[in-house]
């Protein structure tokens, strides 16, 4: 990144230092509060919400370290670091304690929204306190009758003579909606102005502070009340609230970016929020994998397969059992693939920021648009599967609360639901992103991937893997063409029905690409190390793999790619065949046919 003027003042050493500091904060301050937060949870007392007691200190350290604005420009108090780097930091904070990380993620989203769409007077009053995390922020979309169907919302905004709006209505499931980490909370609320069109076209977005800054600069109550907190399966330390706006007629809102622009603005802000949720899946996956790995080295059970029948054979750590190793490889390759995917999205966002021409900007915006629904959906779904596999590695101990992985699985599940369910991500990918300009985004993406993969293709040791990748990519292309054809012939229901499997396949192909990219680099470096050590034969190389950590690391990277390509990408053709058989059983079955009443 440092070759771009925007990041020229930084260096690799500076980036390494930031990562090391984030790692320390995550490990020493965030992680010890993870379980405490899960056990104590948030409490609703006398209309106020208390976060777990242990969260206050790490919050202060995080706020004082300026972490929230690390990738924002210095004009708003940020440190101007690359988004790719902040992505890595969010992973570490999230892996250590996702519930706590939620407060900062939503606050950053609100601050960024204000920066991009707020009037200068509003920015002056509220923005600094958000970017410094002295105050917190929220996104208030959901209502009882308006979940996925946001256009059905009932919260109202009534125009006032001074240009402000009176807000009335109820929002549910609002993360960080009320809490005692900060003095004030700035809500971004979707509502409909009196007389505005029905549906999503008539939605506006309002800045609604819990405490409003009045004419004299004092903070005054703005009639936002918490009616209770939701009791959830996971993320117990994250306050999920029901909020009532304007119960006493005293809730003032300020329209952002013009009337009826709410959905347009939400779309503009979606990429950040969806990437954040994708990173949640990665964070849980990564943490669950590392815990399971450690456990598998410590837990002694059974004997090696060679001595299976000998009751006197020495007992071994479970990491020596092939089935456990297979689960570990699934977790390792999935976590590394997800990490590559999230960081790649962060990198593409950086390239949008530093683009020198309109053409370059649009190209990278296209990559971001294409990657985001995949990051969000695959990150959360695969993250959950990795957590579930971690429990399997732990056996019965994984299922009980004394061990950490059951919390990770509970905490992870919500990621496939909020910020647009994964079904909706798939419709976004298939209906908007893949369909855009007859598949232009996909073509651009595959072209860029092709250039990178061509290096791996020249590496004869990876040639068989690249061939499987090519076949999987071709299956994906065939599927998108099939969807295009179905749309032209008016059979829209087919792409809609199979949008999610298509997204999953797309995720497989991107992760396969990323793992192969890494494997090629790893393979080249590994052979340099062999040469440096004069390890020319199998025996000396094998010894080196056990003695030299760097060798083991690179060999491990190649194994991740081999495992993923052989066990996931080989299934691509079968998955596509299943879809292209045009099976409509899920549509044709009568409701009664699912089960008789
Ligand atoms: C812990 C937690 C935190 C949350 N935080 C926030 C927050 O901070 N701010 C906020 O505004 N909201 C928040 N939410 C709400 C969350 O975003 C919604 O729950 C989510 O958008 C789904 O809405 P719903 O629950 O009403 O489900 P529904 O919309 O009822 O969906 C139920 C199922 O039907 C499917 N479905 C619905 N409509 C369609 C369609 N048109 N096509 C295909 N499938 C469809 C869905 O994919 C899903 O599988 C939070 C929720 C939870 C549980």
Three-state secondary structure string covering 159-214? ECCCCCEEEEEEEEEEECCCCCCCCCEEEEEEEEECCCCCCHHHEEEEEEECEEEC
Å from CA of 420 to ligand 1 middle: 6
Do the beta carbons of residue 321 and residue 54 sit within 8 Å? Answer: no
Each residue's pLDDT tens digit, 66-75 = 999 999 999 9
pLDDT the model gives residue 305: 87
Residue nearest to atom 2 of ligand 1 (CA): 173
Residue nearest to atom 38 of ligand 1 (CA): 148
Q: Higher pLDDT residue, 270 or 205?
A: 205
Å from CA of 190 to ligand 1 middle: 15
pLDDT band at residue 14 using 50, 70 and 90 as cut-offs: very high
Q: Which residues in 321-468 belong to E strands, given as ranges?
A: none
> Bridge partners of 225?
244
Q: Report d(CA 497, CA 393) in Å as an integer.
A: 34
Average pLDDT value for residue range 527-531: 97
Q: Report d(CA 349, CA 354) in Å as an integer.
A: 9
Q: Report d(CA 351, CA 415) in Å as an integer.
A: 27
**Please, what is the average pLDDT of the chain?**
97
Q: Report d(CA 478, CA 446) in Å as an integer.
A: 13
Do the beta carbons of residue 106 and residue 155 sit within 8 Å? Answer: no
Alpha-carbon dihedral angle through residues 194, 257, 342, 338, given to the nearest 10 degrees: 0
pLDDT the model gives residue 438: 85
Extract the tokens encoding 274: 């969806």
Each residue's pLDDT tens digit, 73-104 = 999 999 999 999 999 999 999 999 999 999 99
Each residue's pLDDT tens digit, 372-399 = 999 999 999 999 999 999 999 999 999 9
Instruction: Give the ligand 1 atom nearest the CA of 232.
Output: 1
Q: What's the whole-model pTM score?
A: 0.97
Average pLDDT value for residue range 249-275: 94
Rg (alpha carbons) of the chain, rounded to whole number: 25
pLDDT band at residue 11 using 50, 70 and 90 as cut-offs: very high
Probe residue for ligand 1, chosen from 142, 143, 233 as the CB with the greatest number of ligand atoms within 8 Å: 142
pLDDT surpassing 90 at residue 308: no
> Bridge partners of 187?
138, 208
pLDDT the model gives residue 255: 98
Active-site position among 21, 121, 419, 491: 419
Å from CA of 70 to ligand 1 middle: 30
Q: In sequence order, which residues have a C-beta less than 8 Å from that of residue 7 and are 6 or more positions away?
A: 1, 80, 81, 82, 350, 354
Catalytic residue status for 230:
no
Longest dimension (CA), the chain: 87
pLDDT surpassing 90 at residue 268: no
pLDDT band at residue 135 using 50, 70 and 90 as cut-offs: very high
Q: Report d(CA 38, CA 41) in Å as an integer.
A: 5
Tell me which H or E stretch contains 568.
none
pLDDT the model gives residue 224: 98
Ligand 1 binding pocket (C-beta < 6 A) is 138-142, 147-148, 173-175, 232, 240, 414, 417-418, 421, 423-424
């Amino acid at each position: 990144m440092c070759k771009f003027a925007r990041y020229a003042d930084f260096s690799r050493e500076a980036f390494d230092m930031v990562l090391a500091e984030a790692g320390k904060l995550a490990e020493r301050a965030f992680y010890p509060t993870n379980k405490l937060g899960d056990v104590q949870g948030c409490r609703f007392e006398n209309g106020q919400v208390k976060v777990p007691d242990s969260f206050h200190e790490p919050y202060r350290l995080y706020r004082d370290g300026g972490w929230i604005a690390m990738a924002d420009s210095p004009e708003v108090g940020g440190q101007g670091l690359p988004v790719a780097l902040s992505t890595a930091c969010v992973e570490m904070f999230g892996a250590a304690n996702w519930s706590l990380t939620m407060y900062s993620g939503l606050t950053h989203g609100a601050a960024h929204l204000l920066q991009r769409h707020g009037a200068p007077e509003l920015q002056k009053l509220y923005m600094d306190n958000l970017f410094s995390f002295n105050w917190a922020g929220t996104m208030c979309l959901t209502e009882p009758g308006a979940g996925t169907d946001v256009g059905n919302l009932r919260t109202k905004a009534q125009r006032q003579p001074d240009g402000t709006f009176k807000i009335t209505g109820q929002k549910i499931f609002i993360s960080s909606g009320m809490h005692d980490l900060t003095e004030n909370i700035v809500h971004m609320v979707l509502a409909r102005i009196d007389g505005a069109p029905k549906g999503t076209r008539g939605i506006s977005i309002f800045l609604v502070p819990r405490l409003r800054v009045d004419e004299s600069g004092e903070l005054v109550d703005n009639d936002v009340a918490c009616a209770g907190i939701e009791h959830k399966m996971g993320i117990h330390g994250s306050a999920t609230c029901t909020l009532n706006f304007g119960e006493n007629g005293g809730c003032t809102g300020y329209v952002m970016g013009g009337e009826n622009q709410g959905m347009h603005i939400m779309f503009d802000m979606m990429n950040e929020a969806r990437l954040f949720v994708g990173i949640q899946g990665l964070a849980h996956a990564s943490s669950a994998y590392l815990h399971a790995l450690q456990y598998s080295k410590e837990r002694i059970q059974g004997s090696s397969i060679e001595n299976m029948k000998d009751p006197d054979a020495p007992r071994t750590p479970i990491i020596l059992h092939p089935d456990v190793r297979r689960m570990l490889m699934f977790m390792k390759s999935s976590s590394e693939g997800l990490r590559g995917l999230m960081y790649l999205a962060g990198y593409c966002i950086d390239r949008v920021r530093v683009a020198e021409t309109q053409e370059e900007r649009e190209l990278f915006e296209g990559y971001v648009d294409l990657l985001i629904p995949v990051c969000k959906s695959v990150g959360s779904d695969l993250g959950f599967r990795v957590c579930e596999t971690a429990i399997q590695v732990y056996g019965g101990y994984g299922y009980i609360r004394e061990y950490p992985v059951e919390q990770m699985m509970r905490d992870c599940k919500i990621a496939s639901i909020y910020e647009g369910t994964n079904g909706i991500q798939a419709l976004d990918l298939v209906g908007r992103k893949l369909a855009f300009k007859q598949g232009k985004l996909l073509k651009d993406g595959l072209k860029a991937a092709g250039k990178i993969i061509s290096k791996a293709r020249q590496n004869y040791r990876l040639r068989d893997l690249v061939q499987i990748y090519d076949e999987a990519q071709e299956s994906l292309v065939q599927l998108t063409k099939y969807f295009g054809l179905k749309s032209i012939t008016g059979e829209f229901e087919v792409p809609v029905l199979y949008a999610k499997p298509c997204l999953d396949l797309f995720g497989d192909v991107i992760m396969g690409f990323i793992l192969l990219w890494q494997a090629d680099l790893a393979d080249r470096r590994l052979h340099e190390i062999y040469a440096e050590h004069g390890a020319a034969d199998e025996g000396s190389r094998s010894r080196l793999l056990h003695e030299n950590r760097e060798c083991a690391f690179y060999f491990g990277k190649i194994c991740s790619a081999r495992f993923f390509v052989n066990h996931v990408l080989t299934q691509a053709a079968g998955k596509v065949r299943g879809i292209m058989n045009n099976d409509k059983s899920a549509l044709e079955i009568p409701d009664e046919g699912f089960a008789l009443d």
